Amino acid sequence: MALLSILHFPDPRLRIQAKPLPAVTAETRRLVADMLETMYAAPGIGLAATQVGVDKRVIVVDVSENQDQPRVYINPQILRRDGTERMQEGCLSVPGVFEEVERAEHIRVRALDRDGEPLEFDADGLLAVCIQHEIDHLDGKLFVDYLSELKRRRIRKQLEKELREGRERPRTGAATPSI
């Protein structure tokens, strides 16, 4: 296994539309293992392949308290969305920024698991937020896209300045895990 490096906004590779995987191969399993290791090390509760510069539709999530229940979704799709919910989100690709985002409260998801077996399930709460956030990544979308233009520009300038100055941002907030 290997730690992968996580791309930071405004890296243009975060805007690439990821491609569906025709099959789950040994290479896919290697990618999944590396993504899980990278997510836990960050630390984060979700990671999309797009965030590590791989344009494949693969996400990993772990919203369990002890970070011991990894979930792997390949080619994930949202079949249904119900209700709305606002939750504060953070993103490993936008370090140190935490903002409220409105998303669907309940979702129905279809995906393949890490063995290539089809899954279909309902999700709500943090898991639903996490899956929606990660599928956005696969579509080249970031949570800052839901904020005002002004706010997004300010975040971008701040991150670029810190990058120039070689400063490392705290990756997690006190209460909000990053995804």
Contacts with Zn ion by CB under 5 A lie at 91, 179
Nearer to Zn ion, 22 or 170 (CB): 170
Nearer to Zn ion, 135 or 179 (CB): 179
Contacts of 52 (CB under 8 A, 6+ apart): 4, 5, 6, 7, 34, 35, 38
Q: Specify the residue for token string 């209700």.
A: 83
Q: How far is the CB of 120 from Zn ion (least distance, A)?
A: 24
- Among 85, 134, 149, 162, which one carries the catalytic annotation? 134
- Does residue 99 carry a catalytic annotation? no
Of residues 155, 97, 103, 138, the one with CA closest to residue 14: 138
Q: How far is the CB of 23 from Zn ion (least distance, A)?
A: 26
**Number of other CB atoms surrounding residue 177 within 10 Å:** 20
Q: Which tokens go with 83?
A: 């209700």
Nearer to Zn ion, 60 or 179 (CB): 179
Q: How far is the CB of 14 from Zn ion (least distance, A)?
A: 9
Known catalytic residues? 134
